[in-house]
Structure 1
Amino acid sequence: MAKKPELTAEKDPPDTSEKADLGASNNSAVKKMMKDATGSDFESLQTRLLDHVLASVWVRKGKDQNDAIMATIAAIAAIKPTDGLEGMLAAQMVATHETVMECLRCAMSPEQSFEGRDSNLKHAPKLLQIYTRQMEVLAKHRIRGQQKITVEHVNVHAGGQAIVGNVDGSAPSPSKAASA
């Protein structure tokens, strides 16, 4: 019995001339869109991030590549990167998402061989774990080490003192402490 051929994604690289026009445009709306999508004010970084993530997106032959470009930019912008580092992470997250979805698509294709289906289904959970770690890194970067401690129960014994209310943790300045 002949093996079914293993399906792989045949990528047609998106038309880079459209991306270059987006990055080099003087149109303020396009500049804002690029800034929102990448978190960076630097056009060279904006273009490079979008080039990398678009190279990882599978575009079906015959489909409008402009739709794929705009959907990819919208996906990165939905993460709302606030700086270049978050922009790079957002690009990686979108590329990871696209890759895992492609693995699942290929695995479910009726023409897929058993080996191809098995391989794709083994890669998908690993990619999902990577995506989860990327989300955790983004969240950690956004809080930048800030921690919040909530005290729910306090026991004050006879002769003890307690403060009721919000405490910000900063010590009062010596001049304020002396005047109080």
Structure 2
Amino acid sequence: MTTAPTLQATPPVAANDRSGSIANPRIRLYKKRIAIKHPDPQAGERLLAEALGAVDRDALHGILKQLAKASAIGHRPDEANLAFMISTIKRIAPSDSIESMLAAQMVCVHMAAMRSACRLACTDNLAQQESITRALTRLTRTFAAQIEALGRHRGNDERAITVRNLSVQDGGKAIVGHVTQHANVLVAEAGPSEARQEAGR
């Protein structure tokens, strides 16, 4: 006789889980409300707020409602999808409101991409395959751009600029070495010839 496995709250997957060993409180979705399942409601809200990077109660419930709508399967919010989305955002570890919103968008784009991939695998219609492939391509490119945006935000928009071709007019000077721009400040590392010139002055 085969019995269905009992579903339980998901424990941390690995011992090196940097986001903490406490599992997220589970969310119950009702017709007109969202309930946080935790023995201590305040502690449950606090744990979820930390996981989602929400700065206050309004931000927490606002983002939960948005994620619940995005978790829908057949127009009905899905608790398993919502749990996955919350767990993924927790691993991204948003530290402010911008990161919180961006992380939420990232998981929503990922969910949409996976739905598109499922539709692509389930259709033999050539026109539908082309349409779904275009949508999937846009979604995966958007996801990659979101990763870049998160990295730039966390690095305070520090981007290295490499100059490959350089032209110096008569009377001009060139820096021989590596030039990096961080937050609109130019930092130059002098090369060997430049360092010898500076030492001779």
Aligned to 1:26: 41
Partner in structure 1 of residue 189 of structure 2: 151
% same residue: 17
Map of 1:105 onto structure 2: 118
TM-score normalised according to structure 2 size: 0.59
**Off by >4 Å, runs of 4+ in structure 1:** 16-19
C-alpha separation in 2, matches of 1:57 and 1:42: 22
Structure with more of its chain in helix, by fraction? 1
Could you say if the C-alpha distance between residues 18 and 160 of structure 1 is closer, same or farther in structure 2, counting changes exceeding 3 Å?
Answer: farther
Q: Which residue of 1 aligns with 2:59?
A: 45
> Map of 1:29-108 to 2, 5 A cutoff?
30-59=44-73, 65-108=78-121
Larger mean Cα displacement after TM superposition, 134-143 or 31-40: 31-40
What's the RMSD between the two structures over aligned residues? Answer: 3.4
Higher relative contact order, structure no. (Cα contacts within 8 Å, ≥ 6 residues apart) = 1
2:129 matched to 1:130?
Answer: no
Provide the C-alpha distance between the structure 1 equivalents of 2:42 and 2:198, rounded to a whole number of angstroms. 69
Aligned residue for 1:151, secondary structure, equals strand
1:141 shift after superposition:
1.0
Distance 1:158 1:133, change over 3 A: closer
Q: Which runs of 5+ in 2 are unaligned?
A: 1-27, 159-181
Structure 1 letter corresponding to 2:189: V
Q: CA deviation at 1:85?
A: 1.3
Structure 1 residue ranges without an equivalent (≥5): 1-13, 163-180
The amino acid of 2:130's aligned partner reads D
AA aligned to 1:154 is P
> Retained in 1: the 8 A contact 2:85–2:107?
yes
What is the TM-score when the length of structure 1 is the normalising length? 0.65
